[in-house]
């Protein structure tokens, strides 16, 4: 069954030319922290007019009736130019990084940069005593506020900043940046060889006493076994960079052309290479949050693919060991994905795994559609994938209608589609605060918030409870035998 999410979606109109969206992390900590913080999303809107670009903070505020919520929007002026990328920091939830591009006053030069900004803390929720009129305030009529500037990323030695990704841990604030070639005469300019203006460099930035500094940097190159022409230097445009949360976050994936290159950040050398993943271009990638060898990709062919990195043929080991896929691959000739789903009729721009339930994925495409997938057979819950079909969840209700809730068994494929938006959808993301909630925004600025269908959510939660009970019974039987 494929659900239509249009009926449950809540929308908000933002300025046009929206290209990026991120879910914000929980900004509260400590034993006295309020555990009911609302989900918040950050949206970047572009404009070539001076101070015309904006960043919008959208808060999902729950109402006081069942299944009721409304959206609150705060607008901020982005003074540096067009917003081309946003990155949330798990270790500093009130901070975010914006990548921007701007045109000189003479209209002859295009420059780029990245800055760190601070958001205001979450406002207090509306109290039950407030009137309905106060709950329905149109925050869009308020003038844009000013962002609090924190610092700029120290990338002045490089010609441009292309992509930024944050360390996935809540205890580390490191950043990884895809940069243009370093300027001649600077510290990171490679002496003794020619550097193409289209080449890309990967830099790891670490913070000390509040200021970031480049800790390590290397030019992006294909493994020698793959391409010996011009030293294997990558000159294609980089479309995505993602930081794997596994093995102390030592792997970064970079998508360009039709392939995905893995970089081991401990030695800044290639650790895997997936070639001919999508034709003609890979637009986005995401690592499975629970399995270190599973990677999801989306591209211009409109397909979502899931890959097992252990299947890559290994030819030489790095100096950091032979475990898993940390070995350079000579290519992916004959390597097939675990699954490919042609769910879209145009390019896929964003692919996102659920933060914890890796059987759920999202994709956004320029065919004006968002797809929610269920892939239990290729997740950490593989052992439960054969338990499909409808089940019943029993509650304490008195009538049969109240005591039983129909629950859909999770099967591989598209679970739900959102086709309410009429323009290209470039971004979709989950909320780290409420992981059953996700948001998308199209190029016209139509922002939509939705949730995983209740039957799917209950099916996943009840399946986990049943498995825990079965494990407990097995352990009890083993104890009795002893």
The pLDDT, as a whole number, for residue 104 is 76
Q: How many C-beta atoms surround the C-beta of residue 163 within 10 A?
A: 22
37: nearest Cα among 105, 93, 114: 93
Q: Is 25 exposed, middle or buried (0-12, 13-18, 19+ CB in 10 A)?
A: buried
Rg of the chain taking only CA atoms, in angstroms: 23
Arithmetic mean of pLDDT, 116-141: 59
Tokens coding 80: 């540096």
If phi > 0 it is left, if psi is from -120 to 50 it is alpha, else beta; for residue 20 that is beta
Q: Is pLDDT above 70 for 392?
A: no
Q: Report residue 36's pLDDT band, with 50, 70 and 90 as the boundaries.
A: low
Tokens coding 47: 């404009």
* Residue 122 and residue 27 in contact, taking contact as beta carbons nearer than 8 Å: yes
Tokens coding 426: 């470039």
236: Cα separation from own chain's centroid: 22
Q: Is pLDDT above 80 for 133?
A: no
* Residue 410 and residue 459 in contact, taking contact as beta carbons nearer than 8 Å: yes
Mean pLDDT, all residues of the chain:
82
Tokens coding 300: 């211009």
Nearest-angstrom CA–CA distance, 44 and 242: 19
- Measured in degrees and rounded to the nearest 5, phi and psi for residue 372 equal -110, 125
Nearest-angstrom CA–CA distance, 315 and 311: 12
Q: Is pLDDT above 60 for 325?
A: no
Q: Is 271 exposed, middle or buried (0-12, 13-18, 19+ CB in 10 A)?
A: buried
How many helices (H) and strands (E) the chain has is answered by: 3, 34
Nearest-angstrom CA–CA distance, 24 and 224: 39
Q: Which uninterrupted H or E stretch holds 402?
A: helix 400-403
Arithmetic mean of pLDDT, 397-422: 67
* Residue 150 and residue 95 in contact, taking contact as beta carbons nearer than 8 Å: yes
Structure-token match 């499909």, residue found: 388
Query: Lowest-confidence range among 62-66, 275-279, 299-303, 469-473?
Result: 469-473
* Residue 176 and residue 214 in contact, taking contact as beta carbons nearer than 8 Å: no
Q: Is pLDDT above 70 for 101?
A: yes
Nearest-angstrom CA–CA distance, 375 and 297: 14
The pLDDT, as a whole number, for residue 442 is 95
The pLDDT, as a whole number, for residue 118 is 96
Tokens coding 149: 């500037």
pLDDT single digits (tens) 11-33: 999 998 999 999 999 876 544 44
- 3-28+36-121+144-383+409-467, what's its fold? Methylamine Dehydrogenase; Chain H (2.130.10)
For the chain, percent of residues with pLDDT exceeding 70: 77
CA 101-172-441 angle, 5° bins: 45
Q: How many C-beta atoms surround the C-beta of residue 124 within 10 A?
A: 7
Structure-token match 């300025």, residue found: 15
Query: Lowest-confidence range among 18-27, 137-146, 389-398, 420-429?
Result: 389-398
Q: Report residue 418's pLDDT band, with 50, 70 and 90 as the boundaries.
A: very high
The pLDDT, as a whole number, for residue 400 is 37
Can you point out the beta strands (E) in 220-359? 238-243, 251-256, 259-264, 269-274, 282-287, 294-299, 304-308, 314-317, 327-329, 339-341, 348-353
Q: Is pLDDT above 80 for 289?
A: yes
Q: How many C-beta atoms surround the C-beta of residue 175 within 10 A?
A: 23
Q: Is pLDDT above 90 for 437?
A: yes
Q: Report residue 64's pLDDT band, with 50, 70 and 90 as the boundaries.
A: low
pLDDT single digits (tens) 450-479: 999 988 998 888 876 555 555 555 444 544
Nearest-angstrom CA–CA distance, 153 and 165: 12
348: nearest Cα among 415, 288, 303: 303
Tokens coding 74: 């705060």
Q: Report residue 408's pLDDT band, with 50, 70 and 90 as the boundaries.
A: low
The pLDDT, as a whole number, for residue 103 is 85
The pLDDT, as a whole number, for residue 189 is 87
Distance between the two ends of the chain, CA-based, in angstroms?
46
CA 73-74-77 angle, 5° bins: 135
More confident position, 157 or 29: 157
307: nearest Cα among 354, 264, 275: 275
Residues 6+ apart with CB under 8 A from 431: 23, 24, 39, 40, 41, 60, 437, 438, 439
Tokens coding 215: 């800790």
The pLDDT, as a whole number, for residue 232 is 78
* Residues in the chain, total: 482
pLDDT single digits (tens) 182-216: 998 898 888 767 889 999 999 999 997 778 999 99
- The residue extents of the domains of the chain are 3-28+36-121+144-383+409-467
Residues 6+ apart with CB under 8 A from 361: 286, 296, 304, 351, 352, 353, 354, 372, 373, 375
């Amino acid at each position: 069954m494929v659900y239509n999410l249009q009926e449950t979606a809540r929308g908000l109109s933002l300025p046009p030319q929206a290209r990026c969206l991120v879910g914000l992390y929980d900004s509260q900590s400590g034993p006295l922290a309020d555990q009911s913080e609302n989900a918040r999303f950050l949206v970047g809107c572009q404009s070539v007019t001076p101070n015309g670009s904006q960043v919008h903070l959208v808060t999902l505020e729950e109402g006081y009736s069942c299944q009721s919520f409304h959206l609150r929007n705060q607008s901020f002026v982005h003074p540096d130019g067009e917003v081309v990328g946003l990155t949330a920091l798990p270790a500093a939830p009130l901070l975010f990084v914006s990548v921007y591009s701007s045109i000189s006053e003479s209209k002859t030069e295009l420059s780029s940069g990245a800055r760190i900004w601070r958001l205001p803390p979450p406002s207090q929720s509306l109290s039950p005593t407030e009137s309905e009129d106060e709950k329905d305030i149109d925050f869009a009529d308020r003038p844009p506020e000013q962002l609090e500037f924190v610092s700029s990323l120290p990338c002045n030695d490089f010609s441009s900043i292309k992509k930024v990704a944050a360390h996935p841990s809540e205890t580390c604030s490191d950043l990884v940046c895809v940069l243009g070639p370093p300027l001649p005469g600077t510290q990171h300019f490679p002496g003794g060889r020619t550097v193409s203006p289209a080449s890309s460099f990967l830099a790891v930035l670490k913070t000390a006493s509040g200021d970031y500094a480049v800790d390590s940097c290397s030019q992006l190159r294909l493994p020698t076994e793959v391409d010996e022409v011009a030293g294997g230097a990558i000159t294609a445009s980089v479309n995505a960079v993602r930081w794997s949360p596994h093995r102390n976050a030592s792997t970064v994936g970079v998508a360009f052309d039709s392939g995905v290159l893995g970089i081991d950040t401990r030695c800044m050398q290639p650790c895997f290479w997936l070639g001919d993943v999508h034709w003609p271009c890979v637009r986005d990638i995401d690592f499975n949050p629970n399995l270190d060898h599973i990677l999801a990709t989306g591209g211009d062919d409109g397909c979502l693919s899931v890959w097992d990195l252990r299947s890559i043929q290994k030819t030489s080991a790095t100096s950091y060991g032979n475990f898993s896929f940390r070995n350079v691959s000579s290519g992916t000739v004959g390597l097939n994905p675990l699954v490919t789903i042609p769910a879209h009729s145009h390019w896929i721009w964003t692919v996102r795994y659920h933060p914890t339930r890796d059987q759920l994925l999202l994709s956004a495409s320029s065919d004006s559609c968002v797809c929610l997938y269920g892939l239990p057979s290729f997740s950490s819950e593989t052992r439960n994938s054969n338990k499909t079909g409808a089940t019943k969840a029993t509650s304490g209700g008195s009538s049969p209608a109240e005591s039983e809730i129909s629950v859909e068994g999770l099967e591989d494929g598209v679970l739900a589609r959102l086709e309410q938006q009429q323009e290209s959808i470039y971004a979709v993301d989950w909320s780290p605060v409420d992981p059953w909630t996700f948001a998308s925004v199209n190029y016209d600025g139509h922002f939509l918030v939705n949730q995983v269908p209740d039957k799917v959510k209950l099916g996943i939660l009840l399946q986990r409870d049943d498995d825990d009970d079965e494990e407990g019974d097995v352990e009890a039987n083993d104890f009795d035998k002893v």
